Amino acid sequence: MSTQIFKLKPPQAQILRSKKRFKVVNAGRSFGKTWVSGAAIMDKALNNDNKTVIYIAPTLVMARNLMWDKWIKEHIPEEYIAHKNEQFMVMTFTNGSKFYCLSAEHPDRLRGLRADLLIVDECAMIDNGFYEVIRPVLSSNYHDGEALYISTPQGYNWFYKIFCKGKKNPDSWDCFEFTTLDGGNVSQEEIEEAKKDMSPKMFAQEYMASFNTISGRVYENFDRDLNTCELDENWGKADLHIGMDFNVNPMTAAIAVEENGNLYFFDEIVLKNTNTQETADTIKKRYPMATVYVYPDPTGNKRQSNAPVGLTDFEILKSAGFIVCAPPHPYATKDKFNTVNAALCDASGNRKVFIAEDRCLDLRESLEGYTYKDNGDTDKSSGYDHITDAAAYLICYKLPSYSSRAVYRPRVYGT
């Protein structure tokens, strides 16, 4: 076997050493993503008998150019190949293992296939919804396959979502982030030259592998590094301020404390197929001794919840012993967005909202991922509007901006 594939740079070797079932690699251009993928293919297919490895690129041309012609045919010795189909890019090895080089353009070709290792290259260039198509490839009656998802970021699409999913499930997922410079294939001088030819946002995406610099974000002032805080275990014993969105699936609550005029979000609740009563019960069970102030969707004073019969959402919250704080009318959407952005970071650089990194994963993900569509409307198909709305109701009430007229008509229910 050729030994070239094992000459990996330390960051690339770190990826292959991971024993987790699912690996997600977010890396800058020229990091060596194809080299990592090729090494993973050879390790699984040639060092193990009767294994199936599937590699998928965004297009058939990319699959052939990136992997089949420039990697597989160059690095796998002929004596290990039992059969090779050039047209369909399928290779069978002498140990019974099989390799398929496919494209995301033809997902139907995946039906009936099962993989011991699935590699999806340049995920961010593949249409949303593809993850649901390929996930069954890893399931069978005999074993559960492994997956390597690897890409340079390109907005908040499904690649971003599975990266966040991996962060939330460290038992079976491993997530890696590397810049172009980390890969060791591009000099510092070349990177400095690239800075001169690219916009800051594009440079951050392509070379720094940054998710949070793409234009079109609703909450563009959120910074995952600057709007963060360390968890204080005493917060659960303090007065709690909870923003709540009444959507049934999911119903969300963003939980914070107020200190020195700032809001510190340190917990969240995301419940599917539920109702206001169950959400209230969850809060009481989690924080039985706390005084709870709830800042819900203002329409909840009229809305009929599905449990118990005949009560509005506000009445259910008040019956749970919560103090309900809300204006009599809904917040104007533009005012809501502006108020939250100003609280995240105002024009003077002041930040009044901070979020615990390890406890508010959905809120952080949604603040980064909630975007506008090309026509100027917000993209609610991602589901990122739910937990962000929950937090926004609290922020608009406690940290009103001068442009937000609705917050000057607050009412407090349940006192």
Q: How far is CA 29 from CA 39, 185, 209, 293, 330, in A?
A: 18, 10, 8, 47, 45
Instruction: Read off the DSSP letter of residue 64.
Output: I
Residue 1: its pLDDT value, please? 40
Q: How far is CA 204 from CA 29, 175, 195, 316, in A?
A: 11, 19, 9, 47
CA–CA gap between residue 117 and residue 161 (Å, rounded)? 21
Residue 107: its pLDDT value, please? 78
pLDDT in tens, the chain (415 residues): 443 445 788 999 999 999 999 999 999 999 999 899 999 999 999 999 999 999 999 999 999 999 999 889 989 999 999 999 999 999 999 999 999 999 998 777 787 788 999 999 999 989 888 888 888 888 875 678 999 999 999 878 889 989 999 999 999 999 999 999 999 899 999 988 888 776 677 788 889 998 855 558 899 899 989 999 988 888 878 899 999 998 878 999 999 999 999 999 999 999 998 899 999 999 999 999 999 999 999 887 766 555 456 688 999 999 999 999 999 888 888 889 989 999 999 878 899 999 998 899 999 999 998 988 877 788 888 899 999 999 999 999 999 875 444 444 445 555 4
Domains in the chain, please, with CATH? 10-207 (3.40.50.300), 228-399 (3.30.420.280)
Inter-residue contact 152 to 29 (CB < 8 Å):
yes
Flag whether the pTM goes above 0.85: no
Residue 304: its pLDDT value, please? 59
